[in-house]
Structure 1
Amino acid sequence: MPSSLNSPTRVGSPTIAFSASESRFSTSSKRYRESTHLIPTPGVDKNRPKRHVPVNLWLPVVIGTPLLMLIMGMALEVCIELSSKNGGFKVPVQNALSIVSTQFLLAFFPTLFVIPVGYMWRTLDWMLRWYQPYVTMSRGNATAEESVLLDYIYLGSTLSMFPALKYNHRVIFWSSFLATVTYIFQPLAGSIFQIQTRGQTSDTTAQSTRSLGLVSDVAQLNAFAAAAGFVQAAVFNDLADPSFIRQGWSIAEFVFPTNIGLNGTMTVNTTAVQTNPNCANPSAPPIANTTTGIISTISLDGCTQNITFDPKVSDQQYGVAPAPCGAAATSLRPNFQPVVFWFWHVKGDTSSEVRTVFCNPTMQLFNVNATADLNNGGLTTVTILGNFTASNNLTGSPLNGIPYNALIFEDSPNPFIQARATATKVGVPGAIFRSAVQSNKGLQSVFDLPNGFSDLTSTRYTQHLAVTAKSIYFVNENTTLPAVQTSLVPRLWIDPFPGHSLAFLLFATGFLGLFLQLINRRQRRNLFMAAEPGTIAGALALTARSGFGDLLLPYDSREVMEKKLEGLRFRLDKRTGAILADDYEPTGDDGSFRGPDDAMMSLLGKRDTMQSSSQLAQEAALEAAGAYPVWRQELKTPYDK
């Protein structure tokens, strides 16, 4: 072995020492020199390093993420079906978090479920795009554009689909496509939930506080006077029927539930009293004799009634009197006899006219299903189930099924009771007359109508009888009754369109993503990397001895790098894992690559291929001392001059 290989050789400046082993360069390309043969074989001199697999590419992650998306899509479809079947899901009537609005909660919390899986899939897509150039080189014969110059990370998921199509990277295309789709998850999730008010029916019980029976203090006439006062107030203030009363029906009171929701109703199987005034016009027009002060009127039964009044007191007068027609009615006490209402007034031409209405109230007891509005207590419907047959002091003694007329009472020595009787007797006819005065076309129009006062009397007298019945025909008694509660309650509703859309995207992404991850995992089976490739040190570890880096300069643009690396094919060395480049286009007679320096040498004469070791060492020293190989001086830049 010549001594020149073991001692420093000065060729210009600087002086470089070479050993015999360092003079052995690979001859894979004549444009650069690589020294991967100097890299020790892993696992020979020391233990083979452990293969680096990022956490995001662990099997539980790459399998679990698409599976979770697939399961979430299926679960959402089930929730949509349950929502449609049950009219939504039950939610508290009042917002549990008063510091934020319901709309915020509906939009915020659904996104908490889809953002993690969307983020995890985009992370997996990022890892697939990061490793793709190395996967391509692991198969060998990769061009620079699809390997060392390819940067899927810089392009992002959406733009990566175009080069993926160009280079036939199907896994990357579909992975990037699905990663782009995941950005739609959040707006869809934020719009699937709605709060809607829907009817909800549930079987329950109601606590009734009253049962049928005649109250003991009925003789005090408090209930009658109060009912007459309510009728007057209803006329003046246009009031509806009070709680547990509707169009002649009076039902036993019950306790309203507290969690009624919106527009809640309760249907209770209870008892009720139906009072009917049975009002009718006389058989012939009544006659008012202003001289004698007597109003004569004849009922449909042919019973003549004479009513005394004083025409000098007022131009508008009204009242009510007993009308005992027939032996049965005559035998009744005045409290239970039929009555006749009369209304008289002086017209504009100074003539007078009178109207009378005969009423014979009746009462019936029923078992009913009564539906009450839980917001205001008003009855909405009453459905008869059957007659009430139990014996009590309404159907038996002392009433024997005959109701009070609630207007006429026996004289009482108690001035307070007598005052209540007078107020009741005057109040109800006064309320009827006031209704006529308040009519749209005035009092005279009611007198002119054939049934004007008959209709008004029937309406107001019915209301008076029902309010009175609620107070005197029910006694205190607590009982538990079966009931059905129906109310409009807030329900969490899943909008089908965004719901089905999100469920489909979750299912499709999970289903396709599972196959993509398994395919990519199989593609990486021959890829061995000891460190993550994203660092500068990791890139140097893979390419430092590959040689083709000598063709590149730090300030080369991408176009320049593409031109310099043109004609090379890249692969991963199966022994060391380093990135290697091979000439691809043979141009010489012997199949070797011929560059511009080879053409120059052919003009100067054939180069001696049999060089001594001294000559090889001298050429190596010259190349090491210069910034560029001697045959590529055209690569010099203005910075080198």
Structure 2
Amino acid sequence: MGAEKRWIPISLRTWYIVLLVGSMLGIAVAIEIALHFSQEHSGWATDAANSQTGVRHFAFTLPPTIVAMIIIGLWSWTNIEIQRMQPYIDLAHGNAKSETTLLLDYTRTNTFLIWMHAASNKHWVVTLASIIALAGLAFQPLAAGWLTVRNIWLPLPPTSVRNLKTVGLSPDFSNLVPFVSAAGYAEAQALYALPDPAFIKDGWTVQPFVVPTNQTLNGTIFANTVGIKTWSGCEAADSVGIAQDPRGGVDLNATWGDCTSQFFIDTNATQQWGVQLVTQCLTGNVSTTPDEYKPVVFWVFDSSQALAAVTFCQPAISVANVDVEVNCQDGSLQNVTVSNVPWPGGDNITGPPMNGIPLNGIAFNLTNPDRYVLGRENATQSILPAAIWQSAVMNNGTDIMFNNSGTGWVELTDQVYSLYLALVASSVYFVDSDPSSHIELKINTVQSRILLSPIATHILAAALVILGCLGFIVHLYHKKLREPLALHHSPGTIASAVAITANSDFGNLMHGKQQEKEIVQALRNKRFKLDRSTGKIVLDREGSLDDDPEKLDESDGLPYIRRNTWRSLRTASPPASEHDHA
């Protein structure tokens, strides 16, 4: 005859376990490699609009969960077969109690309690297999949290855009439109807290360029370009004197170093303010300096309290190579830093005709101006001090202007006048650039990226490796344990139960037993085995000549002596030795 053919469940065959464990180890290695690339490349780009919710979110989070479900399901199949076969393995080894074989069914025990039940029966393979199955349930939540979507600050590829302007004195600004417009914006900012315009911040006016809004709106541009820095040079007057004027008003006298200024003020108005040139200084060449380059003085007077504040301002300017950060959405400057590369000069701002002295924006060198130009000049001279006054009103009242010897007026003047000078610089100190002039930009933007969770990845990989190795050990031990077992068909069906019990002493023992108590009572104190030749369950050692003649059955308290029991049961239940090979 050929070799004995045994029935072994598919999920307990070596090739199945090797594939399952190999897949678990392979997945563990794969997700660790994926984590490495995720960290190295900051994940993978995804659509911000659909990555957090909706179908796309479901699409990329579902596959890991499906893989986890498959692994759990495949090992659960193995676990169930181990539980089903345990009674038969005990029977194959012989001398098996009914409690751990014929009356045992692990598949009907609560999944979370099987390992304890198996441990109480000292079925260690079932115990470990059940623990692995329980631990494997963690795969699904870990897989669900494996992929995350986060907003990451990442650089885009460098891009080249056109410079819109270059440093140079505008050839014609005699219509004064840039000045009155700048004064108007400064006043609007004081009234409505407007932000600084594009490419202007803290006295810096940066050479404008095309903002590539087609790449991103939520990002920052980094560029090396040219900036013009203007300072208001505003300081409080050294002294301020108020004297009655014969004309009915008051004379305001202020000194600043060796410079003096006098103002006649009509006291019919409660609050008054204004700006004028500084024309009298003992030293220097103020008297010969063109009016558009002279220092200026801003003043405010409150006739109800006879209080005055005066600020002298001497504007200054410089040109430098700068590193800038620009908002992609509106071109607003985020930061300006002077670069290590010095400005080479050769321009008409730091060189002739300006020679590094900026226009004060208050007085102008006009030739035959029309009434509209003169109107813009007057408007500019009126708007600026009014903007400073309005800024005080918006900042806790006008009393701030006279606090600390007029330092409040100095601070407000510096804020408004500095913005005004920067706005003037954007129109007057830059000219249109050559169309071929380009600048290279680096853009960092917030991108929605799919990332791997490091914690979930490491835990998942470790669990796959540990449980995979333990599963393989369970397989090897179980394979050794079931060597005596020779099942000829799949157990578990009614037909199978009849096939392995019919025409055997076990079948005769169960004859007429229907109630659970009757079945348990009939099987008590008896040992069983699986006849290897017939594949039937038979009695083992019941009434065996190897039994101790004085042994008492402690389970039911009934003494039985080998010889008497042997004779009394010989007729009712044939011994296993007679039926092992039937």
TM-score range normalised by the length of the shorter chain: 0.7 to 0.9
Tell me the equivalent position of 1:56.
Answer: 11
CA distance in 1, matches of 2:98, 2:548: 25
CA distance in 2, matches of 1:288, 1:196: 69
Query: Residue 67 of structure 1 aligns to which amino acid in structure 2?
Result: G
**TM-score under structure 1 length normalisation:** 0.76
Tell me the equivalent position of 1:35.
Answer: none
The alpha-carbon deviation at position 224 of structure 1 amounts to 1.3
Q: Does the aligned pair in 1 maintain the 2:321–2:343 contact within 8 Å?
A: yes
**TM-score under structure 2 length normalisation:** 0.83
The alpha-carbon deviation at position 138 of structure 1 amounts to 2.8
Q: Does the aligned pair in 2 maintain the 1:286–1:356 contact within 8 Å?
A: no
Question: Structure 1 residues 274, 192: closer, same or farther in 2, change over 3 A?
Answer: same
Tell me the equivalent position of 1:244.
Answer: 199
Q: Does the aligned pair in 2 maintain the 1:297–1:356 contact within 8 Å?
A: no
Q: Does the aligned pair in 2 maintain the 1:286–1:297 contact within 8 Å?
A: yes
Greater Cα shift, 469-478 or 99-108:
99-108
Residue 159 of structure 1: which of 97, 113, 117 is its match? 113
CA distance in 2, matches of 1:571, 1:429: 110
Report whether the alignment pairs 1:430 with 2:386.
yes
Residue 423 of structure 2: which of 467, 489, 505 is its match? 467
Unpaired segments ≥5 residues, structure 2: 550-560, 575-582
Q: Does the aligned pair in 1 maintain the 2:48–2:447 contact within 8 Å?
A: no
Question: Structure 1 residues 588, 498: closer, same or farther in 2, change over 3 A?
Answer: closer
Residue 542 of structure 2: which of 558, 570, 584 is its match? 584
CA distance in 1, matches of 2:438, 2:511: 94
The number of equivalent residue pairs is: 553
Greater Cα shift, 367-376 or 97-106:
97-106
Tell me the equivalent position of 1:548.
Answer: 506
Tell me the equivalent position of 2:374.
Answer: 418
Question: Structure 1 residues 123, 476: closer, same or farther in 2, change over 3 A?
Answer: farther
Q: List aligned pairs for 1:202-351, cutoff 5 A.
A: 204-205=158-159, 207=161, 208-254=163-209, 255-258=211-214, 260=216, 264-287=219-242, 289-292=244-247, 295=251, 297-307=253-263, 309=264, 311=266, 314-324=269-279, 325=281, 328-348=285-305
Unpaired segments ≥5 residues, structure 1: 1-42, 602-606, 608-628, 632-641
1:544-566 CA-partner distances (Å, limit 9, x unpaired): 34342122147534443233234
Tell me the equivalent position of 2:554.
Answer: none
Tell me the equivalent position of 2:395.
Answer: 439
CA distance in 1, matches of 2:284, 2:57: 73
The alpha-carbon deviation at position 581 of structure 1 amounts to 3.1
CA distance in 2, matches of 1:112, 1:546: 48
Question: Structure 1 residues 134, 596: closer, same or farther in 2, change over 3 A?
Answer: closer
Q: Does the aligned pair in 2 maintain the 1:583–1:593 contact within 8 Å?
A: no
Query: Residue 550 of structure 1 aligns to which amino acid in structure 2?
Result: N
The alpha-carbon deviation at position 218 of structure 1 amounts to 2.4
Q: List aligned pairs for 1:421-570, cutoff 5 A.
A: 421-440=377-396, 442-450=397-405, 451-477=407-433, 479-492=437-450, 500-553=458-511, 556-570=514-528
Per the alignment, in what secondary structure is the counterpart of residue 384 of structure 2?
A: helix
CA distance in 2, matches of 1:290, 1:128: 113
Higher-Rg member (1/2): 1
CA distance in 2, matches of 1:219, 1:320: 21
1:331-388 CA-partner distances (Å, limit 9, x unpaired): 443222221222223124xxx3433222111110011111233455432321111432
1:490-546 CA-partner distances (Å, limit 9, x unpaired): 455655655544443333211211211222234344544343212222232333343
Q: Does the aligned pair in 2 maintain the 1:319–1:341 contact within 8 Å?
A: yes
Question: Structure 1 residues 142, 94: closer, same or farther in 2, change over 3 A?
Answer: same
Question: Structure 1 residues 316, 73: closer, same or farther in 2, change over 3 A?
Answer: same
Per the alignment, in what secondary structure is the counterpart of residue 305 of structure 1?
A: strand
CA distance in 2, matches of 1:553, 1:132: 25
Greater Cα shift, 69-78 or 514-523:
69-78
Q: Does the aligned pair in 2 maintain the 1:288–1:353 contact within 8 Å?
A: no
CA distance in 1, matches of 2:266, 2:516: 117
Per the alignment, in what secondary structure is the counterpart of residue 417 of structure 2?
A: helix
